[in-house]
Each structure stands twice: as C-alpha cells, then as structure tokens.
Amino acid sequence: MPENTSHPWRVDLGDGLVMRHAECADDLERIAECGRRAFGEDELYTVCHDLYTKHPRMRWEDILYVEDTRTGLPVSMISLIPLQWHYGDVLLKVAELGPVGTVPEYRRRGLIRAQMKVFERKLQDEGYDLGAIEGIPYFYRQFGYEYAIPLNQGWRLIPDDIPDLPAGAVESAAIRRMTPADLPQVSALYETATRGLCLRAARDEAIWRFPEELSSGYPDRLTSHVLERDERIVGYLRIRDKPDNGLPVREAITFTYDDSLAALRFAKGLAREQGQARIAINGTPSQPIIKTASYLGARANKPYAWQVRIPHRVRFLQRIAPVLERRLAESMLAGLTQTLHLNFYEEAVELEFARGRLVEVRSVGRSDRGEIRLPPYPAVRLLLGYHSREEISAYRPDLGVRASLQPVVDALFPKVESYIYWSV
C-alpha cells in the first residue's frame, strides 16, 4: 500500500487516548507490536504485519488502533479485511473483523467498543452485505453477531488406516508442488467443486496467492500440491505449514475415489515424515475426499462457526433476490404473487413477489403483525441457510410462521450447505 497522504483522522477518547487509523509503514510496525503485546504471543506480530502489508485488499483506513499519547504506543486495535463471498451465484461484499486485541493494562475501558462503532459505521456507509469474524466465543454477540456458517469443519484420520498402494499398482495421479502456471486449472477445479455451496469464498489470483506468500512464521501459511494425470490437473491439496495436533490439510479437492485415495496416501507420507499421529482434513461432507476418509474411519470433529452480522436487512435481501427467485422457480410455488411481511421484532421488512419475481423489498418499521416472526439472532441463521425454520422453531418459540406461509418461507430459506475455505 502507498502511504496515506489524506488528512489524518483522530478521535479523542479521553484520558490521553486517541483513536486513529494507520497512515504509514511505521504505524503498521507499531500496531503489529501491539498485537504481540495484546496476545502475549510472538507469532501475533507476524500475523498482524503480514495481514497489513501483504493482503491484496487491505486499506489504510481499515486498520484502526488506539494510541496512548503519553507513551506514543498503540494499546488496542481492530481491522476490517475486505472480502468477497458468493451467496449462490450472487457476489457479496463482506467485511471480516481482523485481529482484535487490547494490551492487558488497558482492558475494560471500552476501547474495542469505540473501535467497533467505527467498524459498524463502515459496514453501513460502504455497502457491506455481511460482517463476519472467526473470534472468541460469545464476546461478539454484544455487537450483533450470530454463529451462522461452519468454520474449521474437519475430519481426523489415523495415517495407518489409509491403505498402502497395492504391490505393482500405479497411483491414479501423480502429485507435485503447485506452480503459478497451474493456477488457472486449480481455480477452475475450486469453482466446480464449490459451486453447489450456498456461501463460499470468491477468489481472484491475488487471493489465491496470498496464503502461499506469507512469512514462514505465519501460523496459517499454506503449501499447495496438485494431482496430475495425462498432463491435466485433476485435484489439489493445500496443507498448513505449521502442524496443528496432526497434519492439517486445510483444503482438498478431488473428484474420484481413486484420486481421493492417492491424495490421502500423499498426506499419509507427509504425516509420517513429520511424525504426526493423525491427519486433519477440512471440508464438507459432500466432498469425495471427505467421503473416502469417512469410509476409512475418519471421525468428524465438532466444528466452530463464523459469527456473522447482516448490517442492513433490506440491502441484503435485495442483493440475494436472484437466488430467492431461482429457489421459488424450482419449488412448487413457481410464479408466486404475494407480499410477505417478515417481522424481525425490531424492524419489519416486506418482500413483494409478482409472478415469481421479487419486485420490491422495503422496511416498514416496527410491526405487531405475527404471521412471520423472526427474532434477529436466529433470523441470521435462517437467512444464511445454517438452520431450517423447523430446527430453529424447536428451540426458539419466538420464531413462528403461520401454517399457510410455511411452504413459501421454507422454499425461500432452506437449510443449505456452506463452507468458507481459507480466503484471508
């Protein structure tokens, strides 16, 4: 990033503390050091510094921090990482909340809350469809975030459970390190394998390269390998350089049983070289390599989840209109003409359909109508397909849909498979 030459932005928080955004390379160094002090871990310096200086979409104004003017040192920081995700075939603008931390002696002074107000204002003013964070449990609920997309969904497999290649047999595909020239084929395989997911990361060339170009001390640096047959790439693996209670296969795309076995045998070899007692593979249950690993005895772990906020419901529903129209067209309600009144308690939104087209989405303020009642937090799970209406209703009686409207709500917002492979 070229240095920021715009007028400096500062907000006085009192008691000698000032909120700022990064303006020069020296600021990035100081904020990265704040990350180290906040978490008490040396690798957090590398995480922050690499993110700030190497991520292709970071901007100066998206890196916020609080400085103690008496010492000149940053004491708290957050950042907005601009991302793009697909919702079906619609491209969403996503703001990930990046490294968040305050050095211990400055905690419980509302410094994160002050910075979050700026972050949330950016979501609104700059037209973001989603805010998201991988963060610690519960804390971000106070800012309107809800668990709504699987995160680190994986399976653990004992290397000895992977069968060796039979004597005299030849692997279905050769495996080698990925090169820059392989990227167009690898990217096409990713698109093919993930197209059926509702929410998935959108990747351009720079985003593909980013995890390969991180510093050696970055815990999530990846190394990629391709499966090749007849001079054609037929699959790939992305493996985290740093072991994590086993060999961490962060992304594995294959399409056949034999290629899946070849990839698993390759991972088995790496695990043995590194002295790892297990292999951890991230992905979705529908992926062939996950199915193959399951047949060999792999056990699913309990996944965490992305915490997500929809900053503007009307804007989000307008954005995903093509997906909603397609779902209707493929349902028994094709050609629907009806206005749906969605009561989110704090706000009601009306969806007006005419012959299957979503012609208008409008906010109508607070409402007492009760035919479709969607409490705000569970509503995020429903709108993103994390849970079905029936699943949420089982534990949240304040989510209610009149019987005659259940078919249309279920058609518009079904439970769907989503997964965000490593995209930061």
Asked if residue 387 has pLDDT above 90, the reply is yes
Domain boundaries, the chain: 10-128, 154-302, 312-412
pLDDT of the residue at 45:
96
Per-residue pLDDT tens for 391-407? 999 999 999 999 999 99
**Percent of the chain whose predicted confidence (pLDDT) is above 70:** 98
Residues 154-302: name the CATH superfamily. Answer: Gcn5-related N-acetyltransferase (GNAT) (3.40.630.30)
pLDDT of the residue at 424:
64
Per-residue pLDDT tens for 108-154? 999 999 999 999 999 999 999 999 999 999 999 999 999 999 999 99
Give 4's pLDDT tier (boundaries 50, 70, 90).
Answer: low
pLDDT of the residue at 2:
54
pLDDT of the residue at 245:
84
Per-residue pLDDT tens for 175-193? 999 999 999 999 999 999 9
Per-residue pLDDT tens for 229-258? 999 999 999 999 999 889 999 999 999 999
Per-residue pLDDT tens for 45-68? 999 999 999 999 999 999 999 999
Residues 10-128: name the CATH superfamily. Answer: Gcn5-related N-acetyltransferase (GNAT) (3.40.630.30)
Same fold yes or no, 10-128 and 154-302: yes
Per-residue pLDDT tens for 289-345? 999 999 999 999 999 999 999 999 999 999 999 999 999 999 999 999 999 999 999
Section 34-54 average pLDDT: 95
CATH code of 312-412, in short, is 3.30.1050.10
pLDDT of the residue at 3:
56
Query: What string of H, E and C letters represents the secondary structure of the chain?
Result: CCCCCCCCCEEEEECCEEEEECCCHHHHHHHHHHHHHHHCCCHHHHHHHHHHHHCCCCCHHHEEEEEECCCCEEEEEEEEEEEEEEECCEEEEEEEECCCEECHHHCCCCHHHHHHHHHHHHHHHCCCCEEEECCCCCHHHHHCCEEEEEECCEEEECHHHCCCCCCCCCCCCEEEECCHHHHHHHHHHHHHHHCCCCEEECCCHHHHHHHHCCCCCCCCCEEEEEEEECCEEEEEEEEECCCCCCEEEEEEECCCHHHHHHHHHHHHHHHHHHCCCCEEEECCCCCHHHHHHHHCCCEECCCEEEEEECCCHHHHHHHCHHHHHHHHHCCCCCCCCEEEEEECCCCEEEEEEECCEEEEEEECCCCCCCCEECCHHHHHHHHCCCCCHHHHHHHCCCCEECHHHHHHHHHHCCCCCCCCCCCC
Give 6's pLDDT tier (boundaries 50, 70, 90).
Answer: low
